[in-house]
């Protein structure tokens, strides 16, 4: 079952003005494929942005975390290509204004902070916004894949979802350690 809000967007056709949905999306399968294209684009943009974020980081553990997640993100792109292959459709990245906005904001805030420790905190916050975006997308994709009887791609999507959750947890623990150190 779809959340009510989403169902009403589909049924009312208002989606065409919302960017994510277009009039070409008629079925749940179309919507599923569109969201895969959307996250495919998002993962590529994240992979492009992480090296820049890494350059600005001071905290060594945070830098290592970004490095590790960059490698994972590159795998996420490849894993999505496997999903497209299994579904027998062509991977076709579509613009995703949501992730563009999150990454743009990350770049902007990082440009406005001088203090190294504050900058690290800003980068953690930005990275967590990215992870949450991915977590919500993969969570929905998994529900829809099951709904559409495409259990053959659920495992791949779930592996990535778990890595996004782990990345988020890691960021939280670095943020908490930073706060605790300051308090000590």
CB of 50 to Fe ion, least distance (A): 9
76 binds Fe ion (CB under 5 A): yes
16 DSSP assignment: G
134 binds Fe ion (CB under 5 A): yes
CB of 127 to Fe ion, least distance (A): 8
38 binds Fe ion (CB under 5 A): no
- Whichever of 29 and 68 has its CB closer to Fe ion, that residue is 68
* Only segment of 18-26, 38-46, 87-95, 112-120 that touches Fe ion (CB under 5 A): 38-46
CB of 65 to Fe ion, least distance (A): 11
37 binds Fe ion (CB under 5 A): no
* CA gap 130, 122 in Å, rounded: 13
Count the neighbouring beta carbons within 10 Å of the beta carbon of residue 98: 15
CB of 120 to Fe ion, least distance (A): 18
Task: Spell 100-138 as b/e; 16+ CB within 10 A means b.
Answer: eebbeebeeebeeeeeeeebbbbbbebbeebbebbbebb
* Only segment of 26-34, 39-47, 148-156, 168-176 that touches Fe ion (CB under 5 A): 39-47
164 binds Fe ion (CB under 5 A): yes
CB of 38 to Fe ion, least distance (A): 13
* CA gap 117, 41 in Å, rounded: 31
- Whichever of 25 and 39 has its CB closer to Fe ion, that residue is 39
CB of 8 to Fe ion, least distance (A): 29
137 binds Fe ion (CB under 5 A): no
Task: Spell 66-87 as b/e; 16+ CB within 10 A means b.
Answer: beebbebbeebbebbeebbeeb
DSSP per-residue codes, 22-61 = -TT--SHHHHHHHHHHHHHHHHHHHHHHHHHHHHH---HH
CB-closest chain residue to Fe ion? 76
* CA gap 47, 71 in Å, rounded: 8
Token output for 92: 């076709």
- Residues in contact with Fe ion by CB under 5 A are 43, 73, 76, 134, 164
């Amino acid at each position: 079952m779809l959340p009510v809000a989403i169902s009403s967007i589909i049924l009312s056709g208002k989606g065409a003005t919302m960017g994510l949905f277009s009039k070409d999306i008629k079925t749940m399968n179309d919507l599923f494929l569109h969201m895969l294209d959307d996250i495919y684009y998002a993962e590529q943009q994240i992979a492009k942005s992480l090296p820049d974020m890494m350059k600005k980081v001071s905290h060594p553990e945070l830098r290592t975390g970004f490095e590790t997640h960059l490698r994972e993100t590159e795998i996420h792109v490849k894993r999505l290509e496997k999903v497209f292959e299994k579904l027998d459709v062509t991977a076709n990245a579509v613009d995703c204004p949501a992730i563009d906005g999150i990454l743009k904001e990350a770049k902007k805030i990082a440009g406005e902070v001088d203090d190294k420790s504050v900058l690290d905190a800003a980068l953690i916050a930005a990275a967590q916004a990215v992870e949450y975006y991915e977590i919500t997308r993969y969570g929905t994709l998994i529900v829809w894949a099951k709904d559409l009887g495409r259990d053959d791609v659920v495992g791949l999507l779930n592996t990535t979802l778990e890595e996004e959750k782990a990345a988020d947890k890691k960021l939280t623990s670095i943020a908490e350690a930073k706060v605790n150190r300051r308090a000590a």
